[in-house]
Amino acid sequence: MMKDTVLITGHRNPDSDSICSALSYAALKQQLGVNAIACRLGPVNEETKYILKRFDVEVPFLLTDARAQLRDIQIDAPTLIPTSTSVADAWNILYTVKNKSLFVVDDNENLVGIVSTSNLSSPRLMNDEQLEEMMSHATIESIAKTCKGEIIVRPEQWQSSGRVYIVTLIDGSSYQPQFKDSIIILSDGDEKQRQIIECGAKCLVITCEQQVSEENCELARQKGCAIIHTQMDTMQVARFINEAFPVEFIMTRNPKTCMDTEYVSDVSQKIAKTRFRSYPVINEFGKVVGGVSRYHLNNYEPRKFILVDHSAKNQSISNIDQAHIEEIIDHHHIGNIETTYPIYYRNQKCGCTCTIIAQMYREFKIAPTRQMAGLMLGAIISDTMHFRSLTTTQLDKDMAEYLAAIAGVDIKEFATGLLSASIALKESTPEDILNRDLKTYEIEKYKIGIGQTNFKNMEDIQIILPTFRPYLEKVQDEKGYDLLIMMFSNINAEGSMFVFSGPLSNVMNSLIEKRIDEHTGFDALIISRKQQFVPKLSALLKTL
């Protein structure tokens, strides 16, 4: 993600308000010059799908962890070199880049190794046999480049033994067998050049600007000996020539790599006990996109978040404590999220977070688009159950009228279609139903889970109960809830059906009007989880 991006997210198991609040507030922030992106923490329910489809808005992208990934932080640009790069060239490149590791790639730019200063220094510690083996892989071109020379004779086929000699004294009668197939550094003139060529040398490096006669060039062609001419002196050539072989023979193979999608904290642990200075970062296509060092891992900006429709840690994205929270916009009780610095916190008593966001559009004198107005209107209708919920305020109604005019919809017609989409029970799995809007509460020492969805006909609930109730009991046991409750609320505000499981099931006797059996009950007055049921449950649990 781009630097200074702010991610806006609602709660886990998102409902329409969470999704629409994130999208509409991100749009407002963008109008205000903030690079804001809406995201979601789970799948969208049928009701939300209806709203998004109605106004042709894409589902926000899924995000499940607040921690920064490598692609979120500043890392070094990668320096890629082919396997044929000489050691000398690699040194020259290394001097010019910030990251002191070079990433070696094949012809398809796939990573095959790493070259660091320790790799490049290794030839200086090699014995003669090792160095000869390395130099046997050097090409005429790399030798000439290393010596800053020009190739004046290039044989059709060329392969040296890798042995390098400096010749200073030799007479016409001398024959040096060890010169055969070797690389000879020579600063003398015509006669000594001819003698070396006759010895069977494979490459003659003529230093100090000594000239080469046409006769010696022709002899070299006949003998298959390369001739390189350089202005460097003999000692300079001798100093650098043994760095003319390719880096692929000294590079570190099978290097430890990091994916750009890995979390910074995980990478820090992974490389804590390793000794390399920099590690290649690979993308999903296997290409190197950067280099990361301990400096980057210890000095990075965490992701920035704006939380909407919640302020409780157990309802927020995982590892939210490892991120920077910039703002919270909510209409619920004040939760337990803590920050170490002041933030913009807006909490209002109303039926929907989108009511607050619509109000903020007006405060900034920015008109929402038709799409964003439609999304906010849908969320208000959903959260207030078309203004039938006890959480409904006059502000909710006023903002709904304001948004409906911009969106160009009839509120009653829109509400009918929206709420009908939210009551599909027979076509849904028990998991889908429970997770449509499941929230977890820590009340006193107890872990409480409360899900909520809508229904129109009681018969629909009766049909799904044989499969839903065992699933609810399974989740309650596996996740350690002291009490797990599912509220099925009538879309006409005619009460709620309760299905529950857990050690605290007996408290339901004091909370709802009618207990049907040990796992179900009904209350004709309760339709609001936030304003009616949770406060009542919380007060009761504090007395236990």
| Domain CATH for 264 | 3.10.580.10
| Domain CATH for 183 | 3.40.1390.20
- pLDDT value at position 260? 95
- pLDDT value at position 101? 87
Question: Are residue 86 and residue 62 in the same domain, yes or no?
Answer: no
One-letter amino acid of 466 = P
Instruction: Kindly give, in sequence order, each residue whose CB lies less than 8 Å from that of residue 127, ignoring residues fewer than 6 positions away.
Output: none
In angstroms, the CA 64 to CA 48 distance is: 19
Mean pLDDT of 424-438: 85
Question: Are residue 353 and residue 367 in the same domain, yes or no?
Answer: yes
Question: Are residue 118 and residue 255 in the same domain, yes or no?
Answer: yes
Question: Are residue 113 and residue 253 in the same domain, yes or no?
Answer: yes
Question: Are residue 118 and residue 252 in the same domain, yes or no?
Answer: yes
Number of domains in the chain: 4
Domain limit, last residue, from 400, 421, 442: 421
Between 378 and 338, the more confident residue is 378
Which among 456, 369, 465 is positioned nearest to 420, based on CA atoms? 456
Question: Are residue 104 and residue 179 in the same domain, yes or no?
Answer: no
Question: Are residue 117 and residue 254 in the same domain, yes or no?
Answer: yes
- pLDDT value at position 357? 98
In angstroms, the CA 396 to CA 384 distance is: 8
Q: Which two tokens stand for residue 411?
A: 């509120």
Domain limit, last residue, from 397, 421, 445: 421
- pLDDT, tens digit (0-9, with 9 covering 90-100), for 291-300: 998 889 998 9
- pLDDT, tens digit (0-9, with 9 covering 90-100), for 210-225: 889 999 999 999 999 9
Q: Which residue has the tokens 């309802």?
A: 315
Question: Are residue 161 and residue 233 in the same domain, yes or no?
Answer: yes
Question: Are residue 288 and residue 361 in the same domain, yes or no?
Answer: no
* 173 band by pLDDT with thresholds 50, 70 and 90: very low
Question: Are residue 407 and residue 332 in the same domain, yes or no?
Answer: yes
In angstroms, the CA 202 to CA 179 distance is: 8
Q: Which residue has the tokens 């909520």?
A: 452
| Domain ranges, residue 164 | 138-244
Mean pLDDT of 261-275: 87
- pLDDT value at position 175? 53
- pLDDT value at position 3? 61
Domain limit, last residue, from 244, 259, 289: 244
Residue 513 lies in a domain: yes
- pLDDT value at position 2? 56
| Domain CATH for 511 | 3.10.310.20
- pLDDT value at position 358? 98
pLDDT at 61 over 50: yes
CB 297 within 8 Å of CB 264: yes
Give the chain's mean pLDDT: 91
Instruction: Kindly give, in sequence order, each residue whose CB lies less than 8 Å from that of residue 249, ignoring residues fewer than 6 positions away.
Output: 134, 137
Instruction: Kindly give, in sequence order, each residue whose CB lies less than 8 Å from that of residue 370, ignoring residues fewer than 6 positions away.
Output: 55, 406, 407, 408
Question: Are residue 357 and residue 413 in the same domain, yes or no?
Answer: yes
* 75 band by pLDDT with thresholds 50, 70 and 90: very high
Mean pLDDT of 17-23: 97
CB 38 within 8 Å of CB 17: no
pLDDT at 174 over 80: no
Mean pLDDT of 339-349: 94
Residue 72 lies in a domain: no
Mean pLDDT of 88-102: 89
In angstroms, the CA 131 to CA 250 distance is: 11
CB 150 within 8 Å of CB 229: yes
- pLDDT value at position 102? 92
Which among 359, 368, 355, 353 is positioned nearest to 308, based on CA atoms? 353
- pLDDT value at position 437? 85
Q: What percent of the chain has pLDDT over 70?
A: 98
Question: Are residue 362 and residue 259 in the same domain, yes or no?
Answer: no
| Domain CATH for 387 | 3.90.1640.10
Residue 132 lies in a domain: no
Residue 10 lies in a domain: yes
- pLDDT value at position 172? 45
Burial of residue 452 (number of CB atoms within 10 Å: 0-12, 13-18, 19+): buried
Mean pLDDT of 311-315: 92
- Nearest 10 degrees: Cα torsion 29, 31, 37, 42: 70
Residue 129 lies in a domain: no
Residue 133 lies in a domain: no
- pLDDT, tens digit (0-9, with 9 covering 90-100), for 482-516: 999 999 998 877 899 999 999 999 999 999 999 99
Look at 2-6, 171-175, 241-245, 385-389 and tell me which has the smallest mean pLDDT.
171-175
- pLDDT value at position 520? 95
Mean pLDDT of 449-461: 89
Residue 19 lies in a domain: yes
According to DSSP, the residues that pair with 97 across neighbouring strands are none
Residue 75 lies in a domain: no
* 276 band by pLDDT with thresholds 50, 70 and 90: confident
- pLDDT, tens digit (0-9, with 9 covering 90-100), for 348-366: 999 999 999 999 999 999 9
In angstroms, the CA 251 to CA 249 distance is: 6
In angstroms, the CA 484 to CA 498 distance is: 10
Q: What percent of the chain has pLDDT over 90?
A: 72
